[in-house]
A and B are shown apart, each in its own frame.
Chain A
Amino acid sequence: MAEEMLRMEGVSKSFGPTKANRDINLVLNKGILLGLAGENGSGKSTLASMVCGMQKKDSGKFYKNGLNYDPHSPADAAAHGVAMVVQELGVVGNLPGVVNMFLGKMDPYTKGPMVDLKAMKRDAKAVFEKWNLPLVPLDVPAGSLSIEQRKIMELARALITEPDFLVLDEISQALSQDNRQVLYQFIETFKSKGRTILMVTHDLEEMMEISDEIAVLRDGVIVESRAAGDYTMDELKRLMIGREVSGDYYRDDKEERYEDEVVLEVRNLTVPGKCEDISFDLHKGEILGICGLSDAGIHEVGSAMFGLEEGRRGSIVVKAENKELKKTSDLIKTGGAYLSKDRDAHGLMLDAGIGDNLIVPSVKELSGPAAYLSPVKTKALAQRASEAFEIKSSGLGHVVRRLSGGNKQKVNLSRWLVKDLKYIILDCPTRGVDIGVKAYIYSVLKKAKKDGIGVVMISDELQEAMGMSDRILVMKEHRAAGMLSRSSDFTEDKIMEVML
């Protein structure tokens, strides 16, 4: 009989009138990965954060290895062998990676008043080596690392205390294809040592593939929990949403279909060391996917097009107006929009309310005489965007920082999509969103395509890129390695062949 690692009995948690978790009963055995499935706002992250001591439960009990377990802080959880890589927690940007990894755990490295940084670095590297994780720069401020490097560093940080229970909340969606494989290998190794993982991911294919068991949360309640192999994809979706979800949310046509008219002409786009000599045309009504392994430069193409990268060369021309995009404001003036992969750092005003975030891109259109912003108009727009994307919150004044990852992305996207756009550059648009929102985003993209909007969709998920794109630009080592067409080349093998 499998040995028990963590038991939850009658665990509940409320935030004011909102019941985030109700009477949760769950058992996680040793050596397994339990996937926690559910829509945004279903209570997954709350449950995960209670397990790792970030939040106190209102009632109920946790037992770890048969003993009462009631962590009052993440440090206390770590002392009980529970570590985490969770959405809400990040890194301290102004401190080097090595210091970030040992925050709160420096006592063994303290010699008198001094901290032995060399020993810390040595032991940090040993963690990366032990678990076969790709080493990230440890000497530079963590804020200067890419989101992917930060996530890998957070994983290594969690492993420093040699936990036997690990909480992973939406880690894989920050990773590219190759580093996801690294993560999966790590998970296998971790489990093989009799240790347990509680994983939250919105990628249901991934969840079905790597989980041993899956528990489904809906409106804060566990509605089903059993072996992963006993679910079908449609059943899992139905359990999460509470109704039948049509089988496929991607495009069902097999042909690339777009107009001849070119919306954006990109020529020899180069950012030294990041992307080299990238050229393509984006047509009216086309979804152009951009894919590649980590460090291939796919995300930099998006940020370079938006004008965020220093030393950009080459040209990006909006053909209808024959206007060259030189700075970020040019993109917005010509009916364009850009969504960064790192929505917290580059997309949202985290400490402002939902309403303020929603109206920001439309302030010019909403402005009246003497730049007067009518509260009626701004509220109406914010309300429309909020309702269209079903943002779960206490109202337009709800601070964005307090939203779940999926709801943050809804705010990020909806404020652009209520505008009259000609083209949009999306960097991982479905990162951290649940299946319901994913389906909604894809339906919006399909509509945008139908309306003649050109879409550049940078994606770390091959299935998504294949499912939605007319063509895929595959990048390798910062350069374009091939342009594949929906009608002839869209197989995973073919794309991987070009990537590698």
Chain B
Amino acid sequence: MLKDKIILSYTGFENNRSTEIDTEFHAKRVRAMQQFEKVGFPTKEIEEWKYTSLKNLLKTDFTLLTASESDIDTKKIKPFLLKGIESYKLVFLDGIFQPQVSVTSHEGLDICILSSAISKPKYNIVLNHYFNTIASQKDGLASLNTAFTQEGVFIHIPKSVVVDRPVEILYLTSGSEKEVLVQPRNLVIVDENAYVQIVERHQSLTSQKVFTNSVTELFAHKRAIVEWYKVQNDNLQASIIDSTYISQKEQSVVSMFTFSFGGDLVRNNLHVYHEGEHITSNLNGISMLHGTQHVDHQTNIYHQQPNCESHELYKGIFDEQSTGVFNGKVIVSKEAQKTDAYQQNDNILLTDDATINAKPQLEIFADDVKCSHGCTIGQLDKNALFYMRQRGIPAKEAKALLLYAFTDQVVNRIKIPALKIWITDTISKKLGVELEIEV
């Protein structure tokens, strides 16, 4: 079993990291490993995993900790980066940082990698203060990631710094020989009044199975503004479970985008904790699936303070036998008066075999709040299709235009023009037409 294999390999992993012993960081690892040993991988008996089974995925004999010898060149990664703009780049191959194709910075801010933060004493205070403080201490997958934390992104934007270009994070897997389990770990701290845009992507370059168990912790301090775009457009052998934990302080604004266009099994666990007043959280998503692809969005927003807002807008298009899950949880504690929480989840099923399980879940303990949710599941509007065809637009184009229009509300919220173009192109390609869309 994969679980046993992982537990066995942990000793070997520990032995190679003797310099870490006696550090707080190490203690967190050990505790996490004990937790994973206790709970293992999530099963369908857990309510949040009712519609997503890892059973098949875990049958694969994944290998941990592959040491990649191969370097990657600029040409190979080009298709996965934004075009025509300057950006910071953090590129990893099989979990190993690739400095030759990356653009990092330590000038007035830190845009670098977690391994260097772990090894350099000057980062220890920051690391101990933030690392694994908001990630789940109970969840098996998050614990597994913590136990084996080795590499990932470390970003620290100091007070009032406006990062002048997006940060692109690219995790590549070559896994040329075997099926691999990769576990990136990201720690991002955005201090008071600072601003940063991040584009994150996981991409497999192999036809072997890849299982990514990614964990991110994001801290947005007072008045910080963060935009984070997750692009999931991987091949059919690649599965990802992304757990992102966000802590927001007063007046901060965090906008998360999740574009799920590809992959075999895709699961997004988003947890947003409000720790101050007048916070805004925007969660947006577009899922476009075909074949037997599966995407599961779990959003959890913990309204713990008064006068905060959260807005969720998730759009899903499901073709063939694809399946989707949307479970949107909003928890408003009794202190969180004047909360304004809005959630909308719209889905189009293109075939009789496609499935969506949608579950809005509002738990409200305060009495003076504005909370609403809406969920639609439907097919393409026949009247609209006929209208367009009557004007001479062929059925295929008409359908594509309607589906594009369905996603438009989310696409229009993208603030990086190069990314907006890329997303539009990707949607057009998936729809099999060339759409003339003005960006």
Q: Check if A and B associate.
A: no
Which residues of B line the A interface, CB within 8 A?
none
